[in-house]
A and B are shown apart, each in its own frame.
Chain A
Amino acid sequence: MLTLLRNPVTVAWFLLMLATCLSWWLGLDHDLSSASQAVVDVRYLSTGLILIAFIKVRIVIRYFMEVGKSPLALRLICDAWVLAVCAVILYLYWFPLPLVATSL
């Protein structure tokens, strides 16, 4: 049982639960303070929430899916997905595109 708790996968899980509770709290906290706006720019808060999510995603990929022990190609593909999707989400959040590409 002790080896189970000292396992890196268990440590990863503990961090993931903690990060989820932090996001949960950040999300709720803003709701309460929304009346007194501009204490913190909500855009920084949202950016933080997205970054936390993609850090969690990478932990899941590395430790749960065991990609950390897999060949370089798979590690690179997974990291490319994490970086690209996270970057595009944040870009579109900060710099929304006008309605041009209706084919989207």
Chain B
Amino acid sequence: MNAKLSGESALVRTVGHTKAHVPGEVGIWVFILGDMLIFGAFFIVFMYYRGLNPELFSQSQAMLNQNYGAINTLFLLASSWFVAMAVEDMRSKQVRLAPVFFALAMFCGAGFGVVKIIEYSEKINAGITITTNDFFMYYYIFTGLHFLHVLIGMGVLVFLWLKARAAAKNKIARTDDVIEKDMVLIESGASYWHMVDLLWIVLFPLLYLMK
């Protein structure tokens, strides 16, 4: 058993991690870093306007349900972990659990979507919209744009799940070349999904918690 385990981890190390390596396509990182710069600017703009009218921002924030923000953070973190586990499994010669992990990741992503829709409808039913005030304008724009990222990410996860299923069905041990080629796509999609998680981690305290 031990010999098998150390053999497996040695394989993980030899495929792609013998030297420093950029996960996925270099192009996806240009996109990810660009997106992070844009959201970074959003966070700063939000803080600037918050500083102009802290009372309004605090009163408006008190109308948000922190539980929704927290549950959604947990959903995205769990989803990210499932994706990370799937990526590790995809590095092996014989894929086993990756399709299950990607499916669980999609389930958590869908959970995020359901909570978000419940939250939006509660707000809209209470008469709180994008025109209510500055705080809610930023709330709807930032969470809306983030939600768009989640939706795109769900599409990416479907694609990764199909790839993983095809690899798992293949009973012949995959060659290093096949694994390398698959990993570029898998790591690109996974990195994007982790970025969606990362942006929400900042939005959560910024919009829901900060006093």
Chain A residues at the B interface, C-beta cutoff of 8 Å? 3-4, 7, 9-10, 13, 16-17, 20-21, 23-24, 26-28, 30-31, 42-43, 45-46, 49-50, 52-54, 56-57, 60-61, 63-67, 69-72, 74, 77, 81, 84-85, 88-89, 92-93, 96-97, 99, 101, 104
- Judged by DSSP, the binding face of B is helix
Candidates A9, A53, A69, A77; contact of B20 at CB < 8 Å: A69
The 8 A-B pairs of least Cβ separation, nearest first, read: A96-B51, A27-B209, A92-B47, A13-B81, A24-B70, A42-B211, A49-B205, A85-B40
Q: Is B184 close to A, CB under 8 A? A: no
Candidates B8, B187, B210; contact of A93 at CB < 8 Å: B210
Number of A-B contacts (CB under 8 A): 142
Q: Are A20 and B70 in contact (CB under 8 A)?
A: yes
**Closest A residue, CB atoms, query B97:** A4
Q: How far is the CB of B102 from chain A (nearest CB, A)?
A: 15
Q: How far is the CB of A79 from chain B (nearest CB, A)?
A: 12
Q: Is B119 close to A, CB under 8 A? A: no
Which residues of A have CB within 8 Å of B67?
24
Binds A, one of B126-134, B152-160, B192-200: B192-200
Candidates B54, B78, B85, B197; contact of A60 at CB < 8 Å: B197
Which residues of A have CB within 8 Å of B74?
17, 20
Which residues of A have CB within 8 Å of B206?
50, 53, 89
**Closest B residue, CB atoms, query A14:** B81
Q: How far is the CB of B177 from chain A (nearest CB, A)?
A: 21
**Closest A residue, CB atoms, query B66:** A27
Which residues of B have CB within 8 Å of A50?
205-206, 210
Q: Are A81 and B195 in contact (CB under 8 A)?
A: no
Which residues of A have CB within 8 Å of B151?
none
Produce 1/0 per residue, B41-64, CB < 8 A to A: 001110110111010000000100
Q: Are A74 and B40 in contact (CB under 8 A)?
A: no
On whether A81 and B36 interact (CB within 8 A), knowing A23-B205, A70-B21, the answer reads: yes
Q: Are B202 and A9 in contact (CB under 8 A)?
A: no
Which residues of A have CB within 8 Å of B17?
69
A3→B208 CA distance, assembly (Å): 36
**Closest A residue, CB atoms, query B41:** A85
Q: Are B205 and A70 in contact (CB under 8 A)?
A: no
Q: Name 4 extra pairs, CB < 8 A, besides A7-B88, A49-B209.
A: A17-B74, A88-B44, A92-B51, A93-B51
